[in-house]
Chains A and B, each alone.
Chain A
Amino acid sequence: MIRKKNLLDHDQSLEQENSSLVKSLEANIEFFQKIFHDNETLIARKFQNKYLPEAKCCVLYFDGMVDTQKLNEKVIQPILNTNLNEGLSIQHLLEELEFKVIVSDKIKASNDLNEMMSSIMTGDTILLLQGFDKCLLISSKGGPTRAIVEPDSARVIRGPKEGFTESIITNLTLIRRKINNQNLKFKFRELGEITHTKICICYIEGLALEEIMAELEKRLDAIKIDAILDSGYIQELIRDAPFSPYETVGYSERPDAIAAKLLEGRIAIVVDGSPFVLTVPYVLAEAFQASEDYYNNFIFASFNRLLRSVGIFIATGLPAIYLAIVTYHQEMLPTPLLLSITSSRQGVPFPTALSLFLMLLVFDVIREAATRMPTPIGQAVNIVGTLVLGQAIVEAKIVSAPVIIITAFSGIMKLLSPTTLGSVIVLRLFFLIMASLMGIYGYIFGMIMATIHLMNVRSFGVPYMLGLTSFKNHNGQDIWIRAPWWSMTLRPKIIGVRNLVRQSTKIGKGSKMG
């Protein structure tokens, strides 16, 4: 905290003692070099016009952040080679350069130090000219960026394969390309008192709810943090129910998913440097939706969606239910199953509760280890972890085979919906503990507690369980199942209330039937 203050003070004092440029080129260059002292990536390239030697110029930029080819060909070359003597007024040389010589799509004369600083730091070039206390800020952003590739976090077989990158402008472009409408609005702001990270609030006017917009802006205004390195920072700073294991802010790496959410009346937050775009408000049902659902046959998509939601339910509950039945309610087991479980438990020293607990931990350890490792090693970890360890642990009678089966089953099930991973792991342990205390009744009480919690959570004023309890009409047709597109004529209520109509008539169905 204190350190940050000092830094900022330093910045301000600089500004105060030398708030504007002077007319001497050398002095100006020195001024910048003083600001960025010990920073050798700052390049100051001095040159002058062939025909007008008084026109001494200097371009300042950070090495690696600019497109050097563009800088050479469109800025330095024209200034070097154009005959500045002809038809240009020397008094307004700077303006003349700006308007007639430099070939750039974005150029601006400025003597505001803050503006200069932020420009040069984001990859623009400063052009200083002898005899002027202003400079030109020339857009020359460049340097290495990642190409648009299919995101790893949400692969699809059917559907667009582009994903967001770390560049905010690219990301906005990707969204803009999906929604060609003048009502798509982008509001920029900077967050992070040291990093000055650009973020952009993106919404469709007339669809996004103003109350949510106001609430979002209020929360963003309240952020006073030194750095924003990823959208994850903002996600946690603006979320509701800060202690809940459930996510109350959505995120996606896919432009089509974000566009779809914008079209449902949600608001997106794009953060520079992060390929994950946030959406608010976020409800639990979204965890079970995948963008592919909307491109596939609706029956197949509904099946997948049911699979996902039931899978998550099983992933959280299966270890607890198994534990409850095997250690409290053995009468529930069919006799042959009881006998086979008993035979697998022969000679196993640890109680079922403990071994389940440990095996679930082991599974997560393997998962965590495999994600951090490079792919070949990750595979090796998987093989050792699952095959060797699983096999050996049963053979050595440390854990019974059904426990391994349950763990593996629950472990695979929880991967059906990656966004709920965190909450599933927490909830699963909670249920397991409850079940080990009171059997199936403990599990039920755990479920009730979880339900009470979920019912209490709201995301930007919207109930978190929205839609999960309704099966009818436009609220429920995109929750447990994905209704066919021709029947989804209305947007979900509450979020999309400002403009409910999605399709004016049932065109698709009509034409097909006709």
Chain B
Amino acid sequence: MKSIKYLILSNMIFLNMFFLTGCWNYREVEKLAVVAGVAIDKGKNNQFIVTTEVIQISGGRESKTTSTYITMEGKSIFDAVRNQISFAGKKLYWSHTKVVIVSKEIARHNMLSVIDWYNRDSETRSDVNLLVSREKTAKKVLEQRALLEDINSFELADTLKNQISLSKAPIKELWGFINDLEAQGIVNIVPAVHLKKNKNMYSPQIMGAAVFDNAKLIGFLNSEETQEVLFVKDEVKGGLLIDRDKTNGLKAPISMEIFKNKTKIEPVVSRNNEIKFNIKVDTRVDIDEIVGNVKYANEKVLKKLSNNEAKNLKNRIEHCIKKVQSEYGVDIFGFGAKLREDNPKVWKKVASSWNDRFKNVSVNVSTKVNIKGSGLFSEPIKMGD
């Protein structure tokens, strides 16, 4: 009798556990509105406009993945995000989000208002890619149809990921933005995206970078400049070096593919507290395109080629640093951070006035280009006339 009582009791506890607790965090996959990407714009009256690309799946044997866009306004970002429930019915699911596109306007105003919610909330993940739209609104970029994939945001993420063999835009994840924001002696650059016409339709192209002063956008760099900045920041992992200097007697451009790059920045503090930076760039390249009769099998020619290339690169970098110093006046290269790492005592003295100092800090660039190969051909293609 007693055991039956226990049995009934434990059964009741068990069943209650099932019925009362089952719904807390249990959610079925098809009930999720998976967000692939999000674009944030500024609306009227200081409101935020949040556009999300939500993945739509039609089930069945021939399942198809498409996406739809939900746009909503709100007083804050989170308000706008939550307001989307009134639209879509489902709560948005953020774990698989790949990109966050921020419009120029918002970035000019204050980036922090965007990223704080995204980093803080536990539903979202801070390892998404951050992009700044050069178009009028970020929404416009997000709402374009993708070229090769089904979902635009995924294509944007893929484009970013494969940037390493182009090196014409930086890669910035959201948490990295915060990291650099908080760090002393460095400011953020974020990849920029714009629309480009391709076969009767516009598709997003990621090129160049947006320059920030703390959390405010102050300008854009073009793709060439971005590559130069990346060279200084030691973030080049691929890409091309192109030599088309006609003065060297070249008939056609030579392109070299970068395989490996190592950049070292050495802060040098002289006795009278003059701060100087030595930048050493060491690049390994392969010849990939060479037109004309350059006999590169010859060591002398090879040396000349690489010296030319190194000089070229040096000029470009120096020019870029000058431009940044004069035009933007913010330390996107992280010179200050480097100084702080290597020489915290000196940094403490100059920290407060670093932005001013950066503008006239002198830089000594030395470059080295090593040509290691020439593709599959051992000799240039000759025209047999």
Does chain A touch chain B in the assembled complex, meaning CB atoms less than 8 Å apart? yes
Q: Which segment, of B52-60, B105-113, B240-248, faces chain A? A: B52-60
Q: Is A13 an interface residue (CB 8 A)?
A: no
Label chain A's interface by main secondary structure.
Answer: helix
Inter-subunit contact A326/B29 (CB<8 Å): yes
A479–B154 Cα distance when bound, in Å, is 47
Which residues from A are CB-within-8-Å of B29? Answer: 326-327, 330, 338, 341-342, 345
In the complex where A338-B96, A343-B65 touch, is A328 in contact with B58 (Cβ < 8 A)?
no
Inter-subunit contact A335/B96 (CB<8 Å): yes
A343–B30 Cα distance when bound, in Å, is 8
Q: Is A353 an interface residue (CB 8 A)?
A: yes
Which residues from A are CB-within-8-Å of B154? Answer: 335
Q: Which of B18, B22, B27, B59 contacts A347 (CB 8 A)?
A: B59
Q: Is A346 an interface residue (CB 8 A)?
A: yes
Which residues from A are CB-within-8-Å of B65? Answer: 339, 343
A418–B101 Cα distance when bound, in Å, is 56
Which residues from B are CB-within-8-Å of A345? Answer: 28-30, 59
Inter-subunit contact A328/B57 (CB<8 Å): no
Write the chain A residue with the least CB distance to B150.
Answer: A339
Q: Is B25 an interface residue (CB 8 A)?
A: yes
A331–B22 Cα distance when bound, in Å, is 20
Which residues from B are CB-within-8-Å of A335? Answer: 96, 154
Write the chain A residue with the least CB distance to B34.
Answer: A338
Inter-subunit contact A328/B59 (CB<8 Å): no
Which residues from B are CB-within-8-Å of A439? Answer: 25
A353–B60 Cα distance when bound, in Å, is 21
Inter-subunit contact A346/B58 (CB<8 Å): yes
Which residues from A are CB-within-8-Å of B55? Answer: 339
Inter-subunit contact B34/A342 (CB<8 Å): yes
Q: Is A477 an interface residue (CB 8 A)?
A: no
Inter-subunit contact A436/B22 (CB<8 Å): yes
Which residues from A are CB-within-8-Å of B95? Answer: 330-331
Inter-subunit contact A346/B59 (CB<8 Å): yes
Inter-subunit contact B59/A327 (CB<8 Å): no
Inter-subunit contact A342/B60 (CB<8 Å): no
Contact with B along A345-371 (1 / 0, CB 8 A): 111100111000000000000000000
Which residues from B are CB-within-8-Å of A327? Answer: 26-29
In the complex where A339-B55, A346-B57 touch, is A328 in contact with B25 (Cβ < 8 A)?
yes
B52: min CB distance to chain A, Å: 16
A349–B93 Cα distance when bound, in Å, is 21
Q: Is A90 an interface residue (CB 8 A)?
A: no
Contact with B along A278-320 (1 / 0, CB 8 A): 0000000000000000000000000000000000000000000
Which residues from B are CB-within-8-Å of A353? Answer: 22, 26
A342–B27 Cα distance when bound, in Å, is 12
In the complex where A327-B28, A331-B96 touch, is A342 in contact with B57 (Cβ < 8 A)?
yes
In the complex where A330-B95, A346-B59 touch, is A351 in contact with B28 (Cβ < 8 A)?
yes
Inter-subunit contact A346/B26 (CB<8 Å): no
Contact with A along B323-351 (1 / 0, CB 8 A): 00000000000000000000000000000
Q: Is A487 an interface residue (CB 8 A)?
A: no
In the complex where A331-B96, A335-B96, A347-B59 touch, is A342 in contact with B26 (Cβ < 8 A)?
no
Which residues from A are CB-within-8-Å of B26? Answer: 327-328, 351, 353, 436
- A-B pair count, CB < 8 Å, reads 70
Write the chain B residue with the least CB distance to A346.
Answer: B59
In the complex where A436-B22, A437-B17 touch, is A343 in contact with B28 (Cβ < 8 A)?
no
Q: Is A344 an interface residue (CB 8 A)?
A: yes
Q: Is A69 an interface residue (CB 8 A)?
A: no
In the complex where A330-B93, A335-B96, A339-B65 touch, is A346 in contact with B28 (Cβ < 8 A)?
no
Q: Is B322 an interface residue (CB 8 A)?
A: no
Q: Which of A414-470 contact B (CB under 8 A)?
A: 433, 436-437, 439
Write the chain B residue with the least CB distance to A343.
Answer: B63
Q: Is A340 an interface residue (CB 8 A)?
A: yes
Which residues from A are CB-within-8-Å of B145? Answer: none
A383–B26 Cα distance when bound, in Å, is 35
Q: Which of B17, B28, B63, B93 contacts A340 (CB 8 A)?
A: B63
Inter-subunit contact A343/B125 (CB<8 Å): no
Which residues from A are CB-within-8-Å of B57? Answer: 339, 342-343, 346
Q: Is B297 an interface residue (CB 8 A)?
A: no
A426: min CB distance to chain B, Å: 15
Which residues from A are CB-within-8-Å of B18? Answer: 433, 436-437
Write the chain A residue with the least CB distance to B30.
Answer: A345
Inter-subunit contact B22/A346 (CB<8 Å): no
A328–B25 Cα distance when bound, in Å, is 6
Write the chain B residue with the least CB distance to A331.
Answer: B95
Inter-subunit contact B32/A330 (CB<8 Å): yes
Which residues from A are CB-within-8-Å of B96? Answer: 330-331, 335, 338
Q: Is B21 an interface residue (CB 8 A)?
A: yes
Write the chain B residue with the least CB distance to A332.
Answer: B95
Which residues from B are CB-within-8-Å of A339? Answer: 34, 55, 57, 65
A436–B24 Cα distance when bound, in Å, is 10
Q: Which of A198-227 contact B (CB under 8 A)?
A: none
A341–B63 Cα distance when bound, in Å, is 11
Contact with A along B16-50 (1 / 0, CB 8 A): 01100110011111101010000000000000000
Which residues from B are CB-within-8-Å of A344? Answer: 59, 63
Which residues from B are CB-within-8-Å of A331? Answer: 95-96, 125
A366–B34 Cα distance when bound, in Å, is 38
A125–B310 Cα distance when bound, in Å, is 111
A42–B57 Cα distance when bound, in Å, is 79
A330–B27 Cα distance when bound, in Å, is 9
Which residues from B are CB-within-8-Å of A346? Answer: 30, 57-60, 63
Interface core residue of B17, B22, B32, B57 (most chain A CB under 10 Å): B57
A327–B18 Cα distance when bound, in Å, is 15
Write the chain A residue with the least CB distance to B21.
Answer: A437
Which residues from B are CB-within-8-Å of A347? Answer: 59-60
Which residues from B are CB-within-8-Å of A348? Answer: 30
A351–B55 Cα distance when bound, in Å, is 21
Which residues from B are CB-within-8-Å of A436? Answer: 18, 22, 26
Which residues from A are CB-within-8-Å of B125? Answer: 331
Q: Which of B71-115 contact A (CB under 8 A)?
A: 93, 95-96
Q: Which of B293-340 contact A (CB under 8 A)?
A: none
A197–B27 Cα distance when bound, in Å, is 58
A348–B29 Cα distance when bound, in Å, is 11
A393: min CB distance to chain B, Å: 15
Inter-subunit contact B32/A342 (CB<8 Å): yes
16 sample A-B contacts, Cβ–Cβ < 8 Å, listed by A number? A326-B29, A328-B25, A328-B27, A330-B96, A338-B96, A342-B32, A342-B57, A342-B59, A343-B58, A344-B59, A345-B30, A346-B58, A352-B28, A353-B22, A436-B22, A439-B25
Extra A-B contacts (10), CB below 8 Å, given A335-B96, A437-B22: A327-B28, A330-B27, A331-B96, A339-B34, A340-B63, A343-B58, A348-B30, A352-B28, A436-B22, A436-B26
Write the residues of chain A forming the contact surface with B, with a CB cutoff of 8 angstroms: 326-328, 330-331, 335, 338-348, 351-353, 433, 436-437, 439
* Pairs A-B, 6 closest by C-beta atoms: A346-B59, A331-B95, A343-B63, A345-B30, A343-B57, A342-B29
